[in-house]
Amino acid sequence: MISGLGGQDGSYLAELLLAKGHRVVGAVRDVQRTLRTLPGDLASHVELVEWDLTDQSRMFHALERYGPSDFYNLAALSSGVGMFDDPVKMGDLNGLAVARTLDAVIRVNPRIRFLQASSSEMFGRATRSPQSEQTGFRPRSPYGAAKVFAHTMVQNRRERDGLFACSAILFNHESPRRGEGFVTRKVSQGAARIKLGLSRELQIGSLDARRDWGYAPDFVRAMWLMLEQQSADDYVLATGVTRTVRQLCDAAFAAVDLDYREFVRERPEDLRPVEAIPLAGDASRARARLGWHPEVGFEEWVQLMVASDLRILGEQVGARSSSHVRND
């Protein structure tokens, strides 16, 4: 069972588990919307059940009905645009909801293996780099604070109740399925729009901001490996290499044979102080115990994102053109 199956990570994880012969149930907020938006033919291969992060009775019902052996908790409010807008809602859906889910798992079947999608945002204003599983948390957003609470609850249930529960401490991971509110998708979409003549420039925040970016399918493979182990533990999942937004723009525009310097403009109102100590993950535990390492490199996944946006935008332009011809 995957909560949040309709998101980037959930859809890739579902495809991975289906390829390995598993029955996959998606626990989602809106079944019909998820069916309409799932990529490819994924909707015809998974089962969906309504899942309300605030309604524990519905959690009990879904768990009892489907009896999963593994539960991947990926449902959460996004860390992108808007993560400061409603701290109370953020705390409820990204923090307390995880406590509800863990409690439901234990009461329905404590043998269920549980994985929580934690976040590098928990490190916040880090005092050292790279960050590992032993690094202290200093969140600087409601999103990060809620994720710390959830992460701690996973550890508590593992140590106190013996639940097979673990947290994947996820650094940034991208793909063509990334939401449009994230900087990687803004850049890939911006490059594609300019190449197709739909825009003249791309306005963005600081080009010097640094991130540890990886490829989403690599990260969900690590999540699967975590639940295949003999014992549960927490793992940092990251590439260990930081790159700037400038490098991201350079790679994205190069993928369409353009020079980003001619089209990308920093937007003063979006500029933020560059972190003195960047968030960069130390995934040595995952390498040693899971045998995991990222397989798809930076330039490759950037090119995949740009190619996908070129296709999507090209189809939209073609559809509008066809509609205009018919109307004429």
Query: What positions carry a catalytic annotation?
Result: 119, 121, 143
**215 sits in which H/E element:** strand 214-215
Q: CA-to-CA distance for 62 and 28, rounded, in angstroms?
A: 11
CB atoms within 10 A of CB 196: 15
With vertex at residue 147, the alpha carbon angle to CA 143 and CA 153, rounded to the nearest 5 degrees, is 150
Give the other-Cβ count within 10 Å of 310's Cβ: 19
Name beta bridge partners: 211: 243
Instruction: Please name the residue that has the structure tokens 């739909």.
Output: 198
Cβ proximity of 88 and 75 under 8 Å: no
- Helix (H), strand (E) at residue 318: helix 298-327
Residue 236's Cβ-side half-sphere holds a number of Cα atoms within 13 Å equal to 24
What are the CA-CA distances from residue 205 to residues 126, 160, 262 (Å)?
A: 21, 44, 16
CA distance linking residue 93 with residue 54, whole number of Å: 7
Given phi > 0 = left and psi -120 to 50 = alpha, else beta, which region is 247?
A: alpha
Strand-pair partners of 168: 117, 235
Nearest partner of 117 among 280, 239, 7, judged by Cα: 7
Contact 112, 63 (CB under 8 A): yes
How far is Cα 263 from Cα 268, in angstroms, rounded to an integer?
16
On whether the CB atoms of residues 51 and 58 are closer than 8 A, the answer is: yes
Alpha-carbon distance of 85 to 91, in angstroms, equals 12
